[in-house]
Amino acid sequence: MNIIPIMSGTNRKRGRGAGMQITKSLRFKLSMGIAIVMLPLAGFTFYNNMYAQQIVKEKVSETYSNTLRIFTEQVDDTLLEINDYLYKMENQDADIGVIQSYPYMSDEYVLTKLRITQKLIRDIGFYNMIDTIFLYSDRDIIHATNTNELVMLAIVNDHIDELKELEKTQGKHEWHLLYDKRIEGHYLMARIHEINTGLYGGVFVRMVDIERPLDILWNHGDIGETIIYSHEGTELTDPLTPTMNRLSLKALTVSSEVSTASVKDTASGNKYMVMSQSSGVAKIAYNIIIPETTMLKNIPFLQKATYYLPLGIVLVLASFLMFMNSVIFKPMGELMRGMKKISMGYLDVRLPENRTTEFNFLAGSFNNMAQEVKNLKIDVYEEQLRVQKAEFKHLQAQISPHFYMNSLNIIYNFAALGEHEAVKKMSLHLADYFRFIMNTNRSTVTIAEELRHISNYMEIQKLRFPGKLEFEDLIDPRFRSMELPSLTIQPFVENAVIHGFKNRRQPFTIRIEAREKPQKDGIVITIKDTGIGFPEDVLRSLAEQAPFGKSESSRLGIRNVIHRLELHFNYRVNVHFANSEHGGAVVGIELPYGVLAATGGEEAV
């Protein structure tokens, strides 16, 4: 017997209302629309994913193979260059050729040894891969090393006879593998060459130094692993991830070309791609292990799938877009238009009710928000001041010295020449210069402080160009206590040195003056030089306020100074540029008295 439940009128109405709420919700409509679109794509996406994995494996394998081949060729080229270096010791270095002819520890012998040692230190810095260079004879060892000198000297003594024997048994001009626990990694390659009778030149290359560039690329077990083997299968470097099972070199073909194999770790079940390539110069091989999960983790499944969708899917998407336009895009457009009107100041705009539950809630929230915004007052003036202050700080931060490296080179050259007083003088001026640049707590400085900063800058330049530069400070003392934004005058002085001091053989003078304006409402600061003056095109660009290119950084800094002055003095400034009748450039900066800065009420000059 069928039993039909009987609902009261209230229950029937509540049930229909709940059903209507669900069917009208945005979640339900989007879920239904996406389901209609995605179901036909599921099968094709699965197939596309499998195909994409295979393609990615092949491309990644090709990329890593090329990387390994390039690395191997670079190492081989370096080893061949080291071979040539040993041959040149015999033929091109006169000191090495004659040192055996001098009595041991004679003056000539000691001086020649010192010269050879300096050359070896220089050469070891040129060949980054070399750890130790040495000259061995029965009576002395001359060497240079990047590691512990005593340890490497002992290693030369302990292995020289072994290397001589290997030269006889394995052939000359070969790289030989040595094992010694006293060095990092325990393994190194050695190469010796008999220069004269009883005099051998040689180099040591540690295996860890050869492997280090590969470790930079594959430096984690999650990314990959690198190991260097001997042709006999001995591991010459320690693995980075000891827990990862190792593939013996014997499982791969040792050749001059990259060999690739796909292996599976029986313990973890993970799959790895293993590549190996043998050196063409030494009896070693490089092994790279890359987990397949690393190669496949960035495949964009859906993006690749959409490229191969058939025409039928396009039609389904068109229908879906029409559906989305009716349900989402049209209400969303009304909401966006309402927001635009609010942003334009029309606070009376209101959105109508919507049949979709979510958009109906958004419309109500929007209407409430518009009513609240209408009752708020926005202080536009304070907001503009905040923006101007942020821009002021940003422009001030852009101005930085352009001669750091030159100053450091000057200090180095003075130190190398033993000019200690010049080094102290340069260091003090440079310290004062940097102290002024890095003082960010004050937005304004006095003219006297700015002139001291300029004096430090010019003293540094005088040390760079001795006897060529002069600086004359002719500003009246009554103006020196006035304040102006930091780094206002110095960029013009720096620009004069960079662009005006072209003829380095002629003396160059920079003169700074200040006078009161005829209207008695400010001062005019003038910067003059005796250089080549402004080119006509630069004068036109400055007059027209045309933008400079990024390469003209010093002139771009002047434009920033002008902008800072305009912000600070509420645009009551004037900066003009000209060429003097007697030669040289002239820059005039007109500043007002007692104007409140636009950056927050600080009193300027």
CATH of the domain at 445: 3.30.565.10
- 3-class secondary structure, 251: helix
Q: In total, how many domains does the chain have?
A: 3
367/406 same-domain check: no
Token pair recorded at residue 91: 């033929």
pLDDT at 20 over 50: no
Band of pLDDT at residue 603, cut at 50, 70 and 90: very low
- The CA distance from 397 to 132, in Å, is 47
11 domain-assigned: no
Tell which of 246, 271, 300 closes a domain: 300
447/351 same-domain check: no
Where would I find the beta strands (DSSP E) of 415-479?
A: 444-446, 469-473
Tell me the mean pLDDT in the region 124-142: 89
229/291 same-domain check: yes
pLDDT at 248 over 80: no
The DSSP result for 524-566, as a single string, is EEEEEESSS---HHHHHHHHHTPPPPTT-HHHHHHHHHHHHHH
Tell me the mean pLDDT in the region 482-495: 88
**Highest averaged pLDDT of the listed ranges 36-40, 319-323, 551-555:** 319-323
Considering only residues 488 and 318, tell me which one the structure prediction assigns the higher pLDDT.
Answer: 488
pLDDT at 192 over 70: yes
- The CA distance from 325 to 332, in Å, is 9
Cα-to-chain-centroid distance, residue 282: 36
DSSP β-bridge partners for residue 529: 510
pLDDT at 589 over 90: yes
Q: What is the pLDDT of residue 42?
A: 63
581 domain-assigned: yes
Cα-to-chain-centroid distance, residue 461: 30
Token pair recorded at residue 138: 């029965």
Tell me the mean pLDDT in the region 449-472: 90
27 domain-assigned: no
158 domain-assigned: yes
425/570 same-domain check: yes
* Cβ pair 471, 455 in contact under 8 A: yes
Band of pLDDT at residue 579, cut at 50, 70 and 90: very high
pLDDT at 605 over 80: no
Residue 306, H or E segment: helix 301-306
**Highest averaged pLDDT of the listed ranges 39-43, 521-525, 563-567:** 521-525
Tell me the mean pLDDT in the region 232-260: 60
359 domain-assigned: yes
156/194 same-domain check: yes
Band of pLDDT at residue 1, cut at 50, 70 and 90: very low
Least confident among 363-372, 398-407, 593-602? 593-602
pTM, two decimal places: 0.44
* Cβ pair 220, 157 in contact under 8 A: no
Q: What is the pLDDT of residue 564?
A: 80
461/555 same-domain check: yes
At CB < 8 A and 24+ separation, what contacts does 534-537 make? 534/577, 534/578, 534/579, 534/585
Q: What is the pLDDT of residue 398?
A: 43
335/422 same-domain check: no
Token pair recorded at residue 561: 């100074």
- The CA distance from 492 to 576, in Å, is 12
Residue 191, H or E segment: strand 187-196
pLDDT at 410 over 60: yes
pLDDT tens digits, one per residue of 528-542 = 999 888 888 888 888
- The CA distance from 283 to 281, in Å, is 7
Relative orientation angle of helices 404-417 and 420-437, to the nearest 10 degrees: 160
- One-letter amino acid identity for 441? N
The mean pLDDT of the chain is 76
At CB < 8 A and 24+ separation, what contacts does 372-377 make? 373/342, 373/347, 374/347, 374/348
Q: What is the pLDDT of residue 546?
A: 63
181/322 same-domain check: no
Considering only residues 310 and 302, tell me which one the structure prediction assigns the higher pLDDT.
Answer: 310
CATH of the domain at 368: 1.10.8
24 domain-assigned: no
For 319, the domain range is 310-374
Considering only residues 566 and 190, tell me which one the structure prediction assigns the higher pLDDT.
Answer: 190
Question: If we measure between CA atoms, which residue out of 460, 405, 401 comes closest to residue 427?
Answer: 460
287 domain-assigned: yes
Share of the chain above pLDDT 70, in %: 72
pLDDT at 443 over 60: yes
Residue 277, H or E segment: strand 271-278
493/399 same-domain check: yes
Q: What is the pLDDT of residue 389?
A: 57
Band of pLDDT at residue 590, cut at 50, 70 and 90: very high
Question: If we measure between CA atoms, which residue out of 137, 134, 165, 128 comes closest to residue 151?
Answer: 134
* Cβ pair 288, 64 in contact under 8 A: yes
Considering only residues 350 and 25, tell me which one the structure prediction assigns the higher pLDDT.
Answer: 350
Tell me the mean pLDDT in the region 41-50: 65
Tell me the mean pLDDT in the region 245-274: 64
381 domain-assigned: no
At CB < 8 A and 24+ separation, what contacts does 246-255 make? 247/272, 247/274, 247/287, 247/289, 249/276, 249/285, 249/287, 252/276, 252/287, 254/278, 254/285
366/244 same-domain check: no
Q: What is the pLDDT of residue 596?
A: 35
Contacts of 597 (CB under 8 A, 6+ apart): 443, 444, 568, 569, 603, 604
Tell which of 318, 340, 374 closes a domain: 374
Tell which of 276, 300, 324 closes a domain: 300
Q: What is the pLDDT of residue 433?
A: 86
411/362 same-domain check: no
Token pair recorded at residue 494: 């720096």
Query: How many CB atoms neighbour CB 262 within 10 A?
Result: 11
Contacts of 496 (CB under 8 A, 6+ apart): 510, 527, 529, 531, 585
Band of pLDDT at residue 195, cut at 50, 70 and 90: confident
pLDDT tens digits, one per residue of 374-402 = 766 455 445 555 545 545 554 444 444 55
pLDDT at 555 over 70: no
**Angle formed at CA 347 by CA 342 and CA 349, multiple of 5 degrees:** 80
Q: What is the pLDDT of residue 12?
A: 46
319/434 same-domain check: no
* Cβ pair 84, 173 in contact under 8 A: no
pLDDT at 128 over 90: no
547: left (phi over 0), alpha (psi -120 to 50) or beta: beta
pLDDT tens digits, one per residue of 68-108 = 888 888 888 888 888 888 888 877 788 888 888 899 989 89
Q: What is the pLDDT of residue 118?
A: 92
